Structure 1
Amino acid sequence: MNEQPLLAHLIELRTRLVRALLGIALVFFGLFHWSSDIYHLLAKPLLDALPQGGSMIATEVTSTFFVPMKVTMLVAFLVSLPNTLYQVWAFVAPGLYSHEKKLVAPLVVASLLLFLLGMSFAYFLVFPVVFHFMSAVTPAGVSMMTDIDKYLSFVLGMFLAFGTTFEVPVIVILLTRMGVVTVAKLREARPYMIVGAFVVAAIVTPPDVLSQTMLAVPLWLLFEVGVLAATLMERKARAREQAESAP
Structure 2
Amino acid sequence: MQRISDKRKPMTPLDLVESSIEEGLADPTIDYLDDLPDDVEMSLFDHLEELRQRIFYSLIALVVGAVGCFLFVKPLVKLLEAPARGIKFLQLAPGEFFFVSLKVAGYSGLLVAIPVILYQIIQFILPGLTRRERRLILPVVAGSTLLFLAGLVFAYLLLIPAAVNFFMNYGEDVVEQLWSIDRYFEFVLLLLLSTGLAFQVPVIQILLGLLGIVSAKQMLSGWRYVLLGSAVLGAVLTPSTDPITQTLLAGAVVGLYFGGIAMVALLGNSQGWGRLIGAISSPFTKVNKTTVTDAIAQAPSDTVTEPATIEVLEETPTVDEENTQNGVSDLADLSQIEVENQTSQVEDTDIENQTQVDEPEKETTQLEATETTTENQLTSEASLPPPPVEEQAVPEMLPQRFLSKVTGALFTLLDLWCEDRGEVAIKRAINIKRTGGDWTEVPDLCYVSYERLPAGWMEDQACPTAPELVIDMISPKQTFGELVDKATEYLEAGVLRVWLVDCQARSITVFYSDARPRTYRGEMELTDPLFEGLELIPELLFRQARLPNAG
Compute the TM-score of the two structures, normalised by the length of structure 2.
0.41
Alpha carbons of structure 1 residues 4 and 184: separation in structure 2 relative to 1, 3 Å: closer
Contact 1:38-1:68 at 8 Å conserved across structures: no
**1:58 corresponds to 2:91:** yes
Contact 1:111-1:167 at 8 Å conserved across structures: yes
**1:220 corresponds to 2:254:** yes
1:213 partner amino acid: T
Deviation at 1:175, TM superposition (A): 2.7
**Bigger strand fraction:** 2
Within 2, Cα distance between the matches of 1:141 and 1:193? 39
Question: How high is the sequence identity, in percent, across the aligned residues?
Answer: 32
Within 1, Cα distance between the matches of 2:117 and 2:206? 24
**Unaligned stretches of 5+ in structure 1?**
none
Within 2, Cα distance between the matches of 1:156 and 1:224? 27
Q: How big is each residue's C-alpha offset from its partner over 1:27-52, in whole Å with a ceiling of 9 and x where there is no partner? A: 22223222233222222212x1x2xx
**SS of match in other structure, 1:219:** helix
Alpha carbons of structure 1 residues 107 and 136: separation in structure 2 relative to 1, 3 Å: same
Q: How does 1:1-247 map to 2 (within 5 A)?
A: 5-46=43-84, 48=85, 50=86, 54-205=87-238, 206-236=240-270, 237-240=273-276, 241=278, 242=290, 244=292, 245-246=294-295, 247=297
**Bigger helix fraction:** 1
Q: Calculate the aligned-residue CA RMSD, in Å.
A: 2.3
Deviation at 1:4, TM superposition (A): 6.0
Within 2, Cα distance between the matches of 1:160 and 1:19? 23
1:45 partner amino acid: P
Within 2, Cα distance between the matches of 1:23 and 1:111? 20
Alpha carbons of structure 1 residues 243 and 181: separation in structure 2 relative to 1, 3 Å: closer
Q: How big is each residue's C-alpha offset from its partner over 1:96-126, in whole Å with a ceiling of 9 and x where there is no partner? A: 1112212233223322221221111101222
**SS of match in other structure, 1:72:** helix
Deviation at 1:217, TM superposition (A): 1.7
**SS of match in other structure, 2:214:** coil
Within 1, Cα distance between the matches of 2:53 and 2:233? 39
Within 1, Cα distance between the matches of 2:125 and 2:189? 29
Aligned residues: 240
Within 1, Cα distance between the matches of 2:44 and 2:225? 46
Within 2, Cα distance between the matches of 1:11 and 1:190? 44
Q: How big is each residue's C-alpha offset from its partner over 1:7-27, in whole Å with a ceiling of 9 and x where there is no partner? A: 332332233222222222222
Deviation at 1:75, TM superposition (A): 0.7
1:238 partner amino acid: G
Alpha carbons of structure 1 residues 97 and 148: separation in structure 2 relative to 1, 3 Å: same
**SS of match in other structure, 1:69:** helix
Bigger mean CA deviation after superposition, 226-235 or 177-186? 177-186
Deviation at 1:243, TM superposition (A): 8.0
Within 1, Cα distance between the matches of 2:62 and 2:230? 34
Contact 1:39-1:72 at 8 Å conserved across structures: no
**Unaligned stretches of 5+ in structure 2?**
1-40, 279-289, 298-551
Within 2, Cα distance between the matches of 1:113 and 1:194? 24
Contact 1:56-1:145 at 8 Å conserved across structures: yes
Within 2, Cα distance between the matches of 1:25 and 1:204? 26
Q: How big is each residue's C-alpha offset from its partner over 1:135-154, in whole Å with a ceiling of 9 and x where there is no partner? A: 12214241122212211221
Contact 2:67-2:105 at 8 Å conserved across structures: no
Compute the TM-score of the two structures, normalised by the length of structure 1.
0.86
Larger-gyration structure (1/2): 2
Bigger mean CA deviation after superposition, 56-65 or 197-206? 197-206
Within 2, Cα distance between the matches of 1:202 and 1:31? 31
Contact 1:126-1:214 at 8 Å conserved across structures: yes
Within 2, Cα distance between the matches of 1:30 and 1:198? 37
Within 1, Cα distance between the matches of 2:196 and 2:109? 17
Which residue of structure 1 aligns with residue 428 of structure 2? none
Alpha carbons of structure 1 residues 38 and 181: separation in structure 2 relative to 1, 3 Å: same
Deviation at 1:169, TM superposition (A): 0.4
Within 2, Cα distance between the matches of 1:183 and 1:30? 44
Deviation at 1:239, TM superposition (A): 3.4
Within 2, Cα distance between the matches of 1:20 and 1:207? 35
1:211 partner amino acid: T
Q: How big is each residue's C-alpha offset from its partner over 1:69-95, in whole Å with a ceiling of 9 and x where there is no partner? A: 110111111112111211211121122
**SS of match in other structure, 2:161:** helix
**SS of match in other structure, 2:173:** coil
**SS of match in other structure, 1:146:** strand
Alpha carbons of structure 1 residues 187 and 31: separation in structure 2 relative to 1, 3 Å: closer
Contact 2:195-2:237 at 8 Å conserved across structures: no
Deviation at 1:223, TM superposition (A): 0.6
Alpha carbons of structure 1 residues 92 and 62: separation in structure 2 relative to 1, 3 Å: same
